[in-house]
Every structure is written in structure tokens, then in C-alpha cells.
């Protein structure tokens, strides 16, 4: 917890100059043309929050329909759309963009001591494509034709024959579209981590949150193309009459499952890995000690992503594959637990051997640890082929993945929102209400999802729109629905706390919690240029290296490493971060948002099967891309 003294005049002149160079205009135009990673992070935050609310409303409608037997709250047709959109929204439009788009974008450059991402305009483009593709997908709901074949849309149910309307086309084209955003983000993160780390931040001195982002980004780069292939095949089948998945013409519906799950399983690790990163950022701060087994935790992040590519067919254990094929996946599915266990062990030991301060962010992380253990255990159970063949497609699986998605991804996100709220807004949240919001959310979560284990083992299948009253599932479903409402109340408490605190919370200094990473060394909120001086780094806990941070002040006064001749940030070598170049970063640009809108038109035309017009818009997109690259970043 530091106090900043007013810098001497030379230093102040430098700060003013940096501010002039990096400041972006306020107002609508400023936000539409922004390339500042912090603004883009905030845009991502509110957009993914809106989609999270939409997904949550869909969930509450589902739970209300299942409140009692033979429910009539929604029709079966609407239920199928709600159930599908809940999955699609939460995974593609809420949890992942929140973690990598909001947290990743805002924090990564700050944690590595850089002034922006490697490709700022590409970053903005990622956001606008995310927004436009999300609107594209939700247009389906507006026209009453949302996709309705489940979030993984198995064929032949998803084929033209059995889903004749445009719903599945919204799904295929919408997800290809959204994939462009995520791929661009992933590439941006990797290059930023490789090239823009502050000089001296070698691989062994990079914060663990950055390892999580690195792992997630590599997973996205290699997993998304498989989904694209599946979606391209399906759309070609549906729109042009091809036969990738038609048995009668030599196709195979199981091929959809292979292609989808080769993407789908890494996707669920993509959902959870940034959350692990958030946990490893919060724990050292509140345990007031360095993370136990730093190298192994860094490794574990990467390993989960890597091994996760080899387990996809465990989603297909009941499809009829030969046991000798399934075996490879059962083995890998069991061993993928090891890196997760390494991390759990490290987290728990760090908290237990530190001096833990049980404030709201840490409470959410402890809740996450408990819920992740439960979800992980049911995961190991289902890795065993005989058990999975009984539990597959029952509510047991629904319980498992909600424990890992809600418990292990959303809980750290909630903790992270509390943790970095002071940094982003400059205000402190209310700690007492924070603790209450944790307990209500934790109780609601368990009340909703724990009974699903039991009702699943009692035989309740997934995705059913209602159930009969005489099979013994009614009481458990009632509890789950009440739990869902309690959970919603907990989440609303969090929102209320933050909204009120934004207006009336106590002013937060640079470092209210005693954080260990570099974002805590700058003001709250950070200046547009992030760092007045490029920080010197000697360890992964840069904020706790007091000598280095004092040297920063000295260097500002002397003008060393201030890089104030333009939109500048250093570029270094990959392994040891030796300083190699000074890069000039681009400033505000219209090209990203315009290109995203033009691409939206391309996809809309493809949806309507006006392919020639789509090609025309694609050519226009090419021109916009040319205009984008026409303006080269130059010295300010």
C-alpha cells in the first residue's frame, strides 16, 4: 500500500506529454474509434454482462418451467430454443468474452508492463465483431427462430430435414462469425505476451495470470478451426444440399460429434483457464505470500490446455465407438486431473501457509476451490467409461458441468470483479455487502446444482421440457428452482453493491489490497499511457520488489525509459525479454468498427442465401481492410 508524492517539475512535464500523446477523445466517436485496451476491456465487460443477463433470464425461465411436474410455463418449442440459447449465450457470448475480452484485455498489458496490446486495432476489431455477431445470433430470437437443437446441435437433428427453419443457420453462421473475434483476440494475446513484456520480464518472471491467458489463447488457436469445419460442413449441407452428415449418401452424423467435440472439449478448458489465472492473481495478495510451486502452477495451466486436446471422445462414450478407441480418451481424461490437482494443492497450501485476509475476493476464490473440487471429482467419475455410460445425458452431467462452469469459472470472475473494481473505477466496494453477496451466491449455487446430481442418478434426462409427477423428481426440481432464484438474488446483490459503490464508494488509492502485480503500481483508474516509466522487473511479484518500484520514480525524474516521443512501447525477445525495439502503436481508427459491420452484412446475406451479394460485401470488406493498413503507425 503506497502513497504517491507529487512528482518534481521535470517529471510532471513528462507525464503531461505522455497524457497528450495517449489521451483518446471522450464521447461516442472516441469510443467507436478507440484502440485503448482498457476502453476495449470495459466495452467487453458491459456487453458480456448484458449477454450474461440474457442467459440468466433464459435459465430462470427453464427453471420455472421445471419448477413442478408437467409444467406449462413455456411451450416445448420455446423451451428447446431457451435451452439452446442459454448454452450458446453463456459459453460463447458471456463467460469467455468476459474473461478474455474484459479481464484479459484490461489487465494483460498492465501486468506485463506494456502500454497496449501488440495489435491495438485488431483488439478493437475483436470487440466490434463480438458485438455484431452477438446481435446476429440474438436476431434469431427476435424473429422467433432461435436455434433449438441444443448448444452442440447434433445432426441429424440439426440438418435441414429435421430443422427446416433458419434457426440452425443463425447458429452455424453466428458461431463462425463469433469465432473470428475470438481467434483475433487469441492471436493478439499470444503476440503481446511474446513480444511486449517489459524488458527483464523473462518467462520465469511473468505473472501466473499471463500464463493462463497464454494457455487459453493457444487452445483457442488450435480448437476453433475444428468448430469452423463442422459448421461449414453443416451449413453446406443445409444451404447447398451437400451430404457430409447424411448416412444415405455416404456421410456420417458421428463425424459432426468428432469435429464438434475436438473443439468442444478444449472450449470447456478455455472457459475455466482464465478463471484459474484470476485465482492465482488474488491468492498471493490476500494470503500475503508468494504462490507455492510457482513453476508447477505455470506448467499446470499449459498442461490442462494441452492434454485437453486429447480427451474429446469422452463426450461420445455412448455413441458406439469401439472400446479400444475410447480407451485412449479415458486414459487422458483421468490424467488431465493431475495438473488441476497441482494447482488446487498450490492454492490451498499458499492460503494455509500465508496470513489470509478473508475479504470478499478471497471468499469467492475459496468458494471456487470448494466448488471446483466437487466438479472435478464428478469429472473423474465420468471419465470412467462404464460410469459415464449410465450418467450420460442425465442431470448428473448437468450438475457436473455447472459446478465446473459456474463454480470454477464464474466464481473467480465474481471475485475478480470485486478485486479489480477499485483499480478500474477508483472506488472501493462495500466489504460487508460483498461478504453477504458471496454467501447468498454460494448458497444459491449449491442449492440449484447439487440436487441435480441426485435427480440425474434417479434417471432424469437432460433437455426435457417437463417431467411426470410420479417418478420422484418433483421435490428435487422444486429445490433447484428455488435455488436458482436465490442465486439470482446473490448476483443482483453484487450488481447493487458495485453500482452504489461506483457512485458513493470511498476513493481507492493505487494499491488498496497490497497486490503483487504491476497494475497496482499505477493510479486507479490507470492513466491512458498505463506506465509513466517502463517498469524494471526482477520477479513475478513486481509490486513486492520495493527497490525496483522506487527506481521507477527515479527514472521518471531522469527521463529514462519514459519513451515519450510518440505512442511508444518496448518490444523484447521472447524467452528472456531482452529489449529489442521501440514500437509505435496506432491511435484511434474507424476501420475496426466499419469492418465488423461490413462482415455482419456478409453473414446476414449468407443467412438469407443471397450469396452473390455476400461476395460483394466481402469484396467491400477487403477494401476496408486495405484502408485499415493504408495508415501506418508513425511517430506522433
Partner 1 sequence: MSDASDVTRSMEATGAVAASYAARRRRARPSGWWGVSLLICTEAALFGTMIASYFYLQAQVPEWPPPGVDKPIVTWPLVLTGVLLATSVPLFLAARAAKRGRTRATWLMLALALLVQCAYIGGQALLFVDDYNKSHPTENAYTSIYFTLVGLHAAHVIVGMALIAFLLVRLLSGLTNYRLVGVRVVALYWYFVNLIAVPVVLTQVSPSL
Partner 2 sequence: MRRRPLGLPLPLLLWFGLLGAPLAWTVQHIFGFGLTQAACSLASRGSSVPVDSLTLVATIVATVIGVLAGAAAIAAFVATRDAGTELPGARLQFLATVAVVVTPIFLCIVLMSGISVLVLPECHQS
The binding site for partner 1 (CB under 8 A) comprises: 118-119, 122, 183, 186-188, 190-191, 194-196, 199-200, 221-226, 228-229, 232-233, 236-237, 240-244, 246, 249-252, 255, 258-259, 262, 536, 560-561, 563, 565-566, 568, 570-574, 578-584, 622, 626, 629-630, 632-635
100 versus 537: smaller Cβ distance to partner 2: 537
Site pattern 155..194 for partner 2 (x: CB under 8 A):
----------------------------------------
494 versus 542: smaller Cβ distance to partner 1: 542
Secondary element (H or E) of residue 583 = strand 579-584
One-letter-per-residue 3-state SS of 516-581: CCHHHHCCCCCCCCCCCCCCCCCCCCHHHCHHHHHHHHHHHHHCCCCCCCCCEEEEECCCCCCEEE
Residue in 12, 75, 161, 204 binding partner 2, rule: CB under 8 A: 204
CA-CA distance, 318 to 321, in Å (whole number)? Answer: 8
User: Under the criterion CB under 8 A, does residue 139 sit at the interface with partner 2?
Assistant: no
User: Under the criterion CB under 8 A, does residue 380 sit at the interface with partner 2?
Assistant: no
Q: Which does 568 bind (CB under 5 to 8 A by kind): partner 1, partner 2, none?
A: partner 1
Q: Which does 580 bind (CB under 5 to 8 A by kind): partner 1, partner 2, none?
A: partner 1
Buried b (16+ CB within 10 A) or exposed e, 549-581: bebbbebbbeeebbbbebbbbbbbeeeebeeee
DSSP bridge pairs for 350: none
CB 631 to partner 1: min, Å: 10
Residue in 44, 52, 103, 306 binding partner 2, rule: CB under 8 A: 306
Q: Which residues contact 533 (CB under 8 A, 6 or more apart)?
A: 552, 555, 556, 560, 561, 562
User: Under the criterion CB under 8 A, does residue 296 sit at the interface with partner 2?
Assistant: yes
CB 553 to partner 1: min, Å: 17
State the number of CA atoms in the 13 A half-sphere of 428 facing the CB. 14
User: Under the criterion CB under 8 A, does residue 326 sit at the interface with partner 2?
Assistant: yes
DSSP state, 582?
E
Grid coordinates of 121: 486495432
199 versus 310: smaller Cβ distance to partner 1: 199
Inter-residue contact 280 to 347 (CB < 8 Å): yes
Q: Which does 19 bind (CB under 5 to 8 A by kind): partner 2, partner 1, none?
A: none
**Considering Cα of 408, then 409, then 414, then 415, what sign does the dihedral take?**
positive
CB 324 to partner 2: min, Å: 5
- 212-241: which residues touch partner 2 (CB under 8 A)? none
Q: What DSSP assignment string belongs to 460-498?
A: PBTT-S---TTSS-HHHHHHHHHHHHHHHHHHHHHHHHH
User: Under the criterion CB under 8 A, does residue 247 sit at the interface with partner 2?
Assistant: no
User: Under the criterion CB under 8 A, does residue 340 sit at the interface with partner 2?
Assistant: no
User: Under the criterion CB under 8 A, does residue 27 sit at the interface with partner 2?
Assistant: no
Residue in 202, 228, 349, 613 binding partner 2, rule: CB under 8 A: 202
CA-CA distance, 158 to 279, in Å (whole number)? Answer: 38
Q: Which does 250 bind (CB under 5 to 8 A by kind): partner 1, partner 2, none?
A: partner 1
Grid coordinates of 404: 465446473
Q: Which does 34 bind (CB under 5 to 8 A by kind): partner 2, partner 1, none?
A: none
CB 262 to partner 1: min, Å: 7
Largest CA distance in the chain: 80
243 versus 290: smaller Cβ distance to partner 1: 243
Q: Which does 299 bind (CB under 5 to 8 A by kind): partner 2, partner 1, none?
A: partner 2
CB 565 to partner 1: min, Å: 7
Torsion of CA 401, 152, 65, 477, to 10 degrees: -30
Q: Which residues contact 217 (CB under 8 A, 6 or more apart)?
A: 100, 185, 186, 187, 189, 190, 193
CA-CA distance, 343 to 331, in Å (whole number)? Answer: 20
Interface contacts to partner 2, rule CB under 8 A = 200, 202-205, 295-296, 298-299, 303, 306-307, 310, 313, 320-328, 330-332, 334-335, 338-339, 385-386, 389, 538-539, 575-576
Amino acid at each position: 500500500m503506497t502513497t504517491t508524492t507529487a512528482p518534481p517539475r521535470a517529471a510532471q512535464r513528462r507525464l503531461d506529454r505522455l497524457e497528450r500523446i495517449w489521451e483518446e477523445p471522450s464521447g461516442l466517436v472516441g469510443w467507436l474509434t478507440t484502440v485503448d485496451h482498457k476502453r476495449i476491456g470495459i466495452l467487453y465487460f458491459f456487453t458480456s454482462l448484458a449477454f450474461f443477463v440474457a442467459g440468466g433470464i433464459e435459465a430462470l425461465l427453464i427453471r420455472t418451467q421445471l419448477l413442478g411436474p408437467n409444467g406449462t410455463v413455456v411451450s416445448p418449442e420455446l423451451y428447446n430454443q431457451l435451452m439452446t440459447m442459454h448454452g450458446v449465450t453463456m459459453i460463447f457470448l458471456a463467460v469467455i468474452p468476459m474473461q478474455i475480452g474484459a479481464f484479459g484485455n484490461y489487465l494483460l498489458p498492465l501486468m506485463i508492463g506494456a502500454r497496449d496490446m501488440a495489435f491495438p486495432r485488431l483488439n478493437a476489431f475483436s470487440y466490434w465483431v463480438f458485438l455484431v455477431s452477438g446481435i446476429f445470433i440474438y436476431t434469431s430470437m427476435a424473429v422467433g427462430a432461435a436455434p433449438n437443437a441444443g448448444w452442440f446441435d447434433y445432426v441429424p437433428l440439426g440438418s435441414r430435414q429435421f430443422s427446416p427453419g433458419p434457426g440452425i443457420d443463425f447458429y452455424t453462421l453466428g458461431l463462425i462469425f463469433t469465432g473470428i473475434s475470438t481467434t483475433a483476440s487469441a492471436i493478439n494475446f499470444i503476440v503481446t505476451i511474446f513480444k511486449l513484456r517489459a524488458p527483464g520480464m523473462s518467462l520465469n518472471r511473468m505473472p501466473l495470470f499471463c500464463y493462463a491467458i497464454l494457455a487459453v489463447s493457444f487452445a483457442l488457436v488450435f480448437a476453433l478451426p475444428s468448430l469452423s469445419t463442422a459448421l461449414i460442413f453443416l451449413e453446406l449441407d443445409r444451404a447447398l444440399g451437400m451430404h457430409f452428415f447424411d448416412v444415405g449418401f455416404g456421410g456420417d452424423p458421428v463425424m459432426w460429434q468428432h469435429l464438434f467435440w475436438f473443439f468442444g472439449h478444449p472450449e470447456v478448458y478455455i472457459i475455466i483457464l482464465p478463471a484459474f489465472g484470476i485465482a492465482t492473481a488474488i491468492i498471493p495478495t490476500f494470503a500475503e505470500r508468494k504462490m507455492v510451486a510457482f513453476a508447477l502452477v505455470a506448467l499446470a495451466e499449459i498442461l490442462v490446455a494441452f492434454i485437453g486436446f486429447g480427451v474429446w471422445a469422452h463426450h461420445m462414450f455412448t455413441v458406439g465407438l469401439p472400446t479400444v478407441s475410447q480407451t485412449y480418451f479415458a486414459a487422458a481424461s483421468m490424467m488431465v486431473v493431475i495438473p488441476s490437482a497441482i494447482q488446487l494443492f498450490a492454492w490451498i497450501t499458499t492460503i494455509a501457509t500465508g496470513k489470509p485476509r478473508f475479504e470478499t475476493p478471497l471468499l469467492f476464490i475459496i468458494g471456487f476451490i470448494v466448488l471446483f473440487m466437487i466438479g472435478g471429482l464428478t469429472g473423474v467419475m465420468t471419465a470412467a467409461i462404464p460410469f459415464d455410460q449410465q450418467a450420460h445425458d442425465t442431470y448428473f452431467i448437468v450438475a457436473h458441468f455447472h459446478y465446473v462452469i459456474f463454480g470454477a469459472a464464474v466464481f473467480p470472475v465474481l471475485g475478480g470483479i470485486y478485486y479489480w473494481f477499485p483499480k478500474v473505477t477508483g472506488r472501493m466496494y462495500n466489504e460487508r455487502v460483498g461478504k453477504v453477496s458471496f454467501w447468498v451466491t454460494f448458497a444459491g449455487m449449491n442449492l440449484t446444482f447439487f440436487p441435480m446430481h441426485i435427480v440425474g442418478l434417479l434417471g432424469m434426462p437432460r433437455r426435457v421440457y417437463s417431467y411426470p409427477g410420479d417418478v420422484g423428481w418433483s421435490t428435487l426440481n422444486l429445490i433447484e428452482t428455488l435455488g436458482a432464484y436465490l442465486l439470482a438474488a446473490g448476483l443482483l446483490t453484487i450488481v447493487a453493491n458495485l453500482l452504489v459503490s461506483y457512485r458513493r464508494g470511498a476513493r481507492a488509492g493505487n494499491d488498496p489490497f497490497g497486490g503483487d502485480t504491476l497494475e497496482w503500481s499505477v493510479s486507479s483508474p490507470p492513466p491512458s499511457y498505463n506506465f509513466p516509466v517502463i517498469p524494471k522487473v526482477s520477479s513475478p511479484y513486481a509490486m513486492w520488489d520495493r527497490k525496483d518500484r522506487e527506481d521507477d520514480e527515479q527514472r521518471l525524474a531522469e527521463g529514462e525509459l519514459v519513451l515519450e516521443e510518440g505512442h511508444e512501447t518496448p518490444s523484447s525477445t521472447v524467452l528472456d525479454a531482452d529489449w529489442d525495439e521501440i514500437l509505435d502503436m496506432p491511435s484511434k481508427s474507424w476501420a475496426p468498427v466499419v469492418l465488423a459491420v461490413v462482415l455482419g452484412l456478409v453473414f446476414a446475406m449468407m443467412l438469407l442465401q443471397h450469396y452473390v451479394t455476400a461476395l460483394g460485401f466481402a469484396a467491400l470488406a477487403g477494401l476496408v481492410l486495405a484502408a485499415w493498413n493504408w495508415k501506418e503507425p508513425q511517430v506522433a
